[in-house]
Amino acid sequence: MGKIKIGGILQNKQLAQVGVMSVPDRPGLPGEILGAVGKEGINIQFVVQTVDQHGHGNIIFCIDCKNLEETLKVLNGLHPSVGQKKITHHSPVGIISIFGPHFREKPSIAGTMFTALGNARINILAISTSISTLSCVIDETFLPEAVKAISEAFELP
């Protein structure tokens, strides 16, 4: 079996990953957190939310590095209503994405991408997917190696 054909590779740099960690899970919480950041004119370029076995949520998102201090200020101001135990941040990070076509018809895409990054010794900080895109956050310094590894693992146009 040959390489899986993808539409291409996208990358975005100079980002900061922010985590609002261990918050009591409740309806509307992601909207409250991300809405407060957006009201300050800060664009969120990546987001993933999980709930652990104890019912605590973790919301991780990426913003431009230049907006990190303002974002942290907004999030700290939300503490009385959100109740997060910790706010984390890591920068600079980058997002590397591959895109379609027809990803839902190709079951080994995620495994192929993440194996290629793992074989290149690139740690994945967060993952998000859609029907036609697979994205992950990595340390920005590894973006060139990530592009190379993914280019070798897939058939590009």
- Alpha helices, DSSP H only, in 62-154? 68-77, 79-82, 109-119, 143-153
**pLDDT for the residue numbered 147:** 98
* pTM confidence score: 0.91
User: Rounded to an integer, what distance in angstroms lies between the CA atom of residue 20 and that of residue 56?
Assistant: 11
3-state helix, strand, coil in the chain (%, to 5): 35, 40, 25
**pLDDT for the residue numbered 90:** 97
pLDDT by 10s per residue, the chain, length 157? 689 999 999 999 999 999 999 998 889 999 999 999 999 999 999 999 999 998 899 999 999 999 999 999 999 999 888 888 999 999 999 999 999 877 888 888 999 999 999 999 999 999 999 888 999 999 999 999 999 999 999 999 9
Q: Give me the domains of the chain, ranges plus CATH numbers.
A: 8-12+93-153 (3.30.70.260), 14-91 (3.30.70.260)
**pLDDT for the residue numbered 34:** 96
Burial of 71 (0-12, 13-18, 19+ CB in 10 A): buried
Q: Which residues contact 150 (CB under 8 A, 6 or more apart)?
A: 9, 96, 98, 113, 116, 117
Q: Is 102 helix (H, G, I), strand (E, B) or coil?
A: coil
Structure tokens at 101: 């076509």
**pLDDT for the residue numbered 49:** 94
**pLDDT for the residue numbered 11:** 96
